[in-house]
Amino acid sequence: MLVNLSNKRILLGISGGIAAYKSADLVRRLRDAGAEVRVVMTAAACQFITPLTLQALSGHPVHTELLDPEAEAGMGHIELARWADLVLVAPASADVIARLAAGLANDLLTTLWLACPGIKVIAPAMNQQMWVSSPTRENVECLLGRGVVVLGPASGSQACGDVGAGRMLEAVELARHCAGLFATGSLAGRRVVITAGPTREPIDPVRYVSNHSSGKMGYALAQACVEAGARVTLISGPVHLPTPERVQRINVGSALEMLSVAESAVSDGCDIFIATAAVADYRPVSVAEHKIKKTGDALTIELVRNPDIVATVASRPDRPFVVGFAAETRQVEEYAKGKLRDKRLDMIACNDVSRADIGFQSDDNAMVVFWDGGSQRLDKAPKTLIARELVSLIARQINPSL
Ligand code: PMT
């Protein structure tokens, strides 16, 4: 079964026990499934496995001390707790389970546990007699009563020679269970490439041809795709917007640059391509080396047609699902249907950019979406909401069972 933890942030707490060696494999499995992993180790855990090993595997410094000025200068411990979608303590020793149940905050791991608002999971590992002992049973019951998920332990022969329940579940099983704790997004595991914003076509070193696109629609789509579980590459023309979290953004200037970046992003793997960008249809034939001086009453700039990015992507033999936009000021739906056909798109979202209350620059939009054999009107709403609606239309086209 495919384990999918795309875009999930997992804080892995390792406590002291021989099973700590399995946590190295666990980090790898979680990352292979798409999660970002940060590791916190108790002092006892550091006796069994080195922080350096976990740092190499997770790709991030390992946190061990509650009062560490150097670590706090980076991602502070409260920030780290808030960052995590899920905190997993694996292995969870009898000692750490007792401290979690008692609500202690006497080291970094227990403090983070208390401060983390996300899903809480423990994977117990200890001697079989300790596992069945009354204090441990009561502590586990107490954690279960607070909504903590307890994974395992498994039964079998133990490092101490005993046989019984107390072995930590295998890393692959833990990763699978963690994935199951997240609601699956409608685009879980899909790779999405989005173009957004305007392009700038230089005339000379100080002037360019461009348009009014602010990038808001494309950025809202990037955010909505991430929320739906996709991995998103956002190819952005010059805009003044912050990059949505967990989105890989590549800045470009001209249409030719946008085309080149789009082609390589699609070649790297792309399931869905969404062309929100307002790409300049024409560019100056030549770019003057120096600022053009005023020499007469009129100036003629010759323009040449730019390549069509979305049509180029749609013509690839390995084409992804391709969604275009149509910005029109009249006969909006008619022109959009023509673009759907002529550019060989799977879907097109058309908006009336003659309206001041939607379209370019506005925080709101309204559109009609067309695909082969269907259409859907999306009434005026904030671009963030319109983006979510469009994402669910795309998801349903890709996977009709949704
Ligand atoms: O950025 P905002 O301020 O939020 O505004 C949002 C928006 C109005 C820009 C957006 O909703 C929108 O309509 N984007 C498409 C703009 C556009 O260029 O439309 P078009 O009808 O000219 O182009 C049709 C499609 O072909 C578009 O998907 C466009 O990205 C694509 N195209 C066009 C020309 C070209 N050379 N390459 C392309 O890929």
CATH number of the CATH domain containing 112 = 3.40.50.1950
> Does some domain include residue 123?
yes
Ligand 1 pocket test: pick from 193, 213, 240 the residue with the most ligand atoms within 8 Å of its Cβ.
Answer: 213
Distance 245 CA to ligand 1 centre (A): 23
Q: How far apart are CA 110 and CA 40, in angstroms?
A: 10
Helix axes 20-32, 171-181, angle to 10 degrees: 50
What is the value of pTM for the model shown? 0.67
Q: How far apart are CA 205 and CA 155, in angstroms?
A: 71
Tell me the best of 195, 273, 322, 325 to mutate to test the pocket of ligand 1, counting ligand atoms within 8 Å of each CB and taking the most.
325
What pLDDT was estimated at residue 73? Answer: 66
Q: Answer whether residue 1 is part of any domain.
A: no
Within a domain: residue 263? Answer: yes
Between CA 45 and CA 306 the distance in angstroms is 59
For 369, the token pair is 């979406």
Cα 392 to ligand 1 centre (Å): 20
Are residues 256 and 386 both part of a single domain? yes
Q: 169 and 274: one domain? A: no
CA nearest ligand 1 atom 17, residue? 278
Q: Which residues pair with 35 in a beta bridge?
A: none
Inter-residue contact 332 to 352 (CB < 8 Å): yes
The verdict on 273 and 367 lying in the same domain is: yes
The answer to whether residue 245 is domain-embedded is: yes
Q: Peptide bond preceding 153: is omega within 30 degrees of 0, i.e. cis?
A: yes
Single out the residue in 151, 181, 211 at which a domain terminates: 181
Q: Looking at the domain assignment, is residue 2 inside a domain? A: no
Tokens at 230, concatenated? 């996709």
Assigned domain for 233 exists: yes
- Which residue's alpha carbon is nearest to atom 18 within ligand 1? 278
Taking CA atoms only, the protein residue closest to ligand 1 atom 23 is 326
Q: What is the pLDDT of residue 184?
A: 62
Nearest Cα residue to atom 33 of ligand 1? 279
Are 140 and 195 in the same domain? no
Catalytic residue among 116, 142, 160, 270: 160
Write down the pLDDT at residue 158.
Answer: 85
Q: Kindly report the CA angle at 40 between 36 and 43, in degrees rounded to 5? A: 160
Q: What 8-state DSSP symbol labels residue 192?
A: E
Q: Measured in angstroms, how far is the CA atom of residue 156 from the centroid of ligand 1? A: 61
Number of domains in the chain: 2
Domain boundary among 181, 206, 223: 181
Residue nearest to atom 10 of ligand 1 (CA): 276
Asked whether residue 170 falls in the same domain as residue 195, the answer is: no
**172 and 201 co-located in one domain:** no
- pLDDT at residue 183 in the model: 55
Establish whether 270 is a catalytic residue: no
Quick one: pLDDT at residue 3?
73
| Token representation of residue 361 | 């620059």
pLDDT at 321: 98
Q: Check residue 311 and give its pLDDT.
A: 98
- Ligand 1: residues with CB < 6 A are 195, 213-217, 255, 275-279, 281, 306, 308-310, 324-327, 339, 351, 353, 359-361
E strand spans, 125-180: 149-150, 154-157, 163-167
Environment class of 401 (CB within 10 Å of its CB; exposed 0-12, middle 13-18, buried 19+)? exposed
Q: What is the pLDDT tens value at each position of the chain, 402 positions in all?
A: 457 788 899 999 999 999 999 999 999 999 999 999 999 999 999 999 999 999 999 999 999 988 777 766 666 788 899 999 999 999 999 999 999 999 999 999 999 999 998 889 999 999 999 999 999 999 999 998 887 888 999 998 888 888 899 999 999 989 988 887 775 678 988 999 999 999 999 999 999 999 999 999 999 999 899 888 899 999 999 999 999 888 999 999 999 999 999 999 999 999 999 999 999 999 999 999 999 999 989 999 999 999 999 999 999 999 999 999 999 999 999 999 999 999 999 999 999 999 999 999 999 999 999 999 999 999 888 898 789 889 989 999 998 766
